[in-house]
């Protein structure tokens, strides 16, 4: 059995407790306007081109069996909708100017890689996190991977955007120690506007999760994550509505509600993929803004101590 992953991030300290390896899966059912992993949206393996490394030798064009590449004044043009992801162009490039995005991998191959950092997981209380993209959309592969990890005593976390069938999620839950569930926007129409999909399935999955947690002892830990996006998620009405939903449906079940500050470090990634990005000119938030939204969340009816803020903030340069 094989899955399509984007990459592994080793020594991660942001995707659950302790030191972790995060497996980023390829493919997502949401198209969030602010997505900071645009390379994870498509299920297909893709390529990205680095203009600064390119020698303009045109070797890649000669090696594409399908003629999906051309060089113009604007740089290497890739017929992305037709590209098969065979990576022959990347292999032929003498300057590493073309990099593969995504690879097929088997469970035993991936386990061999994940086992290498076992000592770090054990010493730090860490483990392996499945993230993406949306891992549960490759449910057969994820289930087999999680079962293997659990059998070897490696702690597991699932980072999900919730846009998957309840049946898929139910298959994965017995094998995870921590669920990190994204809850972005409570208003259905606004959710659709900013992510391309309404939030009905996401809220249903959270309610299913609430029922599941009640029946488990010990139950997996649950973290809720909300990105703070100016003009989209970061407003009083939305954060109050999320807090109210959590209090009503998951009282005492959420151990952490993390507000993740808007991140613009993916700007160049959008350029490499030739995808226009609405947030290209958007600055990072100031520390004060992020703390303000933290206070709004703390006053939304949930236990205030579960709210944490994270992410890079803007450094203000003060005039002397
Ligand atoms: S990945 Fe394969 S199909 Fe796609 S552009 Fe490169 S050589 Fe052509
Ligand atoms: S083979 Fe590499 S260096 Fe040569 S034109 Fe293609 S991308 Fe540029």
Read off the pLDDT of residues 101-123 as tens digits, 9 standing for 90 and up. 999 999 999 999 999 999 999 99
Task: Output the average pLDDT for the chain.
Answer: 95
Domain ranges of the chain: 2-42+104-310, 46-101
Say yes or no: CB of residue 308 within 6 Å of ligand 2: no
Pairwise pLDDT comparison (274 vs 115), residue with the higher score: 115
Say yes or no: CB of residue 70 within 6 Å of ligand 2: no
Ligand 2 atom index nearest CA of 89: 1
Say yes or no: CB of residue 66 within 6 Å of ligand 1: yes
The pLDDT of residue 127 is 98
Q: What's the rounded Cα separation, in Å, for the pair 238 and 248?
A: 15
Residue 319 pLDDT greater than 60, yes or no: no
Ligand 1 centre to CA of 78 (Å) is: 8
Split at pLDDT 50, 70, 90, the class of 69 is very high
Ligand 1 atom index nearest CA of 79: 5
Split at pLDDT 50, 70, 90, the class of 155 is very high
Query: For residue 269, how far is the Cα from the chain centroid?
Result: 15
Answer CATH for 46-101 from 3.40.50.720, 1.10.10.10, 2.70.98.70, 3.30.70.20 = 3.30.70.20
Q: Show Cβ contacts of residue 108 under 8 Å, excluding neighbours closer than 6 positions.
A: none
Q: Are 1 and 144 in contact (CB under 8 A)?
A: yes
CATH number of 2-42+104-310: 3.20.20.70
The pLDDT of residue 205 is 97
Say yes or no: CB of residue 200 within 6 Å of ligand 2: no
Mutate which of 46, 76, 79, 85 for ligand 1? The one with the most ligand atoms within 8 Å of its CB, which is 85
Residue 130 pLDDT greater than 80, yes or no: yes
Read off the pLDDT of residues 189-241 as tens digits, 9 standing for 90 and up. 999 999 999 999 999 999 999 999 999 999 999 999 999 999 999 999 999 99
Q: Whose CA is nearest to atom 6 of ligand 1?
A: 89
Ligand 2 atom index nearest CA of 58: 5
Note if the pTM is more than 0.85.
yes
| Identical topology for domains 2-42+104-310 and 46-101 | no
Q: What's the rounded Cα separation, in Å, for the pair 3 and 45?
A: 11
């Amino acid at each position: 059995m094989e899955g399509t992953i984007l990459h592994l991030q080793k020594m991660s300290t942001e995707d659950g407790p302790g030191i972790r390896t995060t497996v980023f899966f390829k493919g997502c059912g949401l198209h969030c306007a602010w997505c900071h992993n645009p390379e994870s949206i498509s299920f297909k393996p893709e390529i990205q081109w680095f203009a600064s490394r390119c020698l303009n030798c045109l070797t890649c064009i000669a090696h594409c069996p399908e003629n999906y590449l051309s060089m113009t004044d604007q740089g290497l043009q890739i017929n992305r909708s037709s590209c098969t992801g065979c990576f022959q162009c990347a292999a032929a490039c003498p300057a590493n100017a073309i990099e593969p995005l995504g690879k097929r991998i088997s469970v035993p191959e991936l386990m061999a890689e994940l086992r290498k950092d076992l000592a770090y997981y054990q010493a730090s209380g860490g483990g392996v996190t499945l993230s993406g993209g949306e891992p549960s959309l490759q449910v057969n592969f994820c289930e087999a991977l999680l079962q293997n990890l659990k059998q070897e005593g490696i702690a597991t976390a699932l980072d999900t955007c919730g846009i998957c069938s309840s049946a898929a999620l139910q298959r994965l839950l017995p094998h995870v120690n921590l669920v990190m569930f994204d809850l972005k926007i409570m208003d259905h129409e606004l959710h659709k506007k900013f992510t391309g999909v309404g939030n009905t399935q996401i809220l249903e999955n959270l309610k299913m999760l609430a029922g599941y947690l009640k029946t488990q002892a010990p139950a997996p830990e649950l973290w809720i994550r909300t990105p703070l996006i100016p003009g989209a998620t970061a407003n009083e009405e939305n954060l109050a509505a999320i807090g109210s939903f959590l209090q009503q449906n998951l009282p005492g079940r959420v151990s952490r509600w993390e507000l993740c500050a808007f991140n613009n470090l993916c700007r160049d990634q959008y350029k490499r993929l030739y995808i226009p990005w609405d947030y290209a000119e958007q600055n990072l938030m100031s520390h004060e803004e992020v703390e303000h939204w933290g206070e709004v969340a703390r006053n939304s009816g949930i236990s205030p101590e579960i709210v944490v803020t994270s992410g890079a903030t803007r450094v203000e340069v003060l005039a002397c």
